[in-house]
Chain A
Amino acid sequence: MGMREKVMVVLGAVAAMLLTRNIWVMLTQLPDEAFQGAIFRIIFFHVPAAFTCFLCFFLALVAGIVYLAKKSLQWDAFAVSVTEVGLAFGAINLISGMIWARIIWGIWWTWDWRLTSMLVCWLLYAGYLVLRRAVEETTERARLGAVMLILNFSVVPFVFFSIKWFRTQHPQPVLFGEGKMDGIYREMLYGNWVPLLMIAAVLVLLRMKQENQQREIDALRRAAHSF
């Protein structure tokens, strides 16, 4: 087992232990929120999933810029890996939010600024994956993908600040700003973000390995055809 595999196994094991402990504490020791009741606990996955998603999209932006500067395909592999993982966490954020909304608002979805902008953001990043499938040539695919990642990121601040800039149904920030949450909830929220970040790191490493493997296979195929 190589160093990378060992890191992945350790990170995955620690994340699993932390998540098990967190879910236990969340369900048995944390009190219900006064107005929302038990469903409030969904925030401990909903918000960290959004943070992880945005962090991944930010890293994809950095990878896109560095790729255009250095033209190293390693950065392209990193970009596609973090984007895919970011999309998975974005999906967790959207779906968990819908389930929370069904109880608190009585509806699954509303075309509110925050919800709509998050959905548009998710679709734009999904579009990046579609674009990659459509372009055959490796360097052209990496170049167009990098440009798209840079353009896509312009939506992320809009999603983040939409609840400040517009009248929305979505709750105001609970970690900073006026509606600060209680310390024990805040501790759980950040405490749950750590294992989710570890899982994201494992998935990115795994995906990068596959991307590099795919490139090796393509190179071998070209070499085989050139005989």
Chain B
Amino acid sequence: MSDSEARNFQYLAYGLIACWVILVAYVLTLAARGKRLGRQLENVQRMMEDREGK
């Protein structure tokens, strides 16, 4: 394999990796948002219970 062919493959690999990195990064932001929403829901439920208790 010549140098230019190897470089061609190397950049193809960068391209494919970049596609997956972007998708995974987005999925991670969704997961983080999901966790945050879970925490918020718990807080609100606790707040409701406290107010009902009073």
Residues of A within 8 A of B (CB): 23, 36-39, 41-42, 45-46, 49, 84-85, 88, 91-92, 95-96, 99-100, 102-103, 199, 203, 206-207, 210, 213-214, 216-217, 220-221, 223-224, 227
Interchain CB contact under 8 A, A88 and B23: yes
Complex interface: chain B residues within 8 A of A221 (CB): 44, 47
Nearest CB of A to B35, in Å: 11
The 16 listed contacts between A and B (C-beta, < 8 Å) are A37-B8, A38-B9, A39-B8, A91-B22, A99-B11, A99-B14, A103-B7, A203-B26, A210-B33, A210-B34, A210-B37, A213-B41, A214-B37, A217-B40, A223-B48, A224-B51
Residues of B within 8 A of A (CB): 4-5, 7-9, 11-12, 14-16, 18-19, 22-23, 26-27, 30, 33-34, 37, 40-41, 44-45, 47-48, 51-52
Q: Which chain A residue has the least Cβ–Cβ distance from B17?
A: A99
Residue of A36, A39, A88 touching B22 (CB-CB under 8 A)? A88
Nearest CB of B to A42, in Å: 4
Q: Which chain A residue has the least Cβ–Cβ distance from B26?
A: A88
Q: Which chain A residue has the least Cβ–Cβ distance from B41?
A: A217
Interchain CB contact under 8 A, A39 and B40: no
Interchain CB contact under 8 A, A224 and B47: yes
CA distance A223 to B27 in the complex (A): 32
Complex interface: chain A residues within 8 A of B14 (CB): 99
Complex interface: chain A residues within 8 A of B12 (CB): 38-39, 41-42
Residue of A39, A203, A214, A220 touching B48 (CB-CB under 8 A)? A220
Nearest CB of B to A10, in Å: 17
Complex interface: chain B residues within 8 A of A100 (CB): 11, 15
Interchain CB contact under 8 A, A45 and B16: yes
Complex interface: chain A residues within 8 A of B15 (CB): 39, 42, 45-46, 95-96, 99-100
- CB-based closest 10 A-B pairs: A42-B15, A99-B15, A88-B26, A37-B8, A38-B8, A227-B51, A220-B44, A95-B18, A224-B47, A39-B8
Interchain CB contact under 8 A, B18 and A96: yes
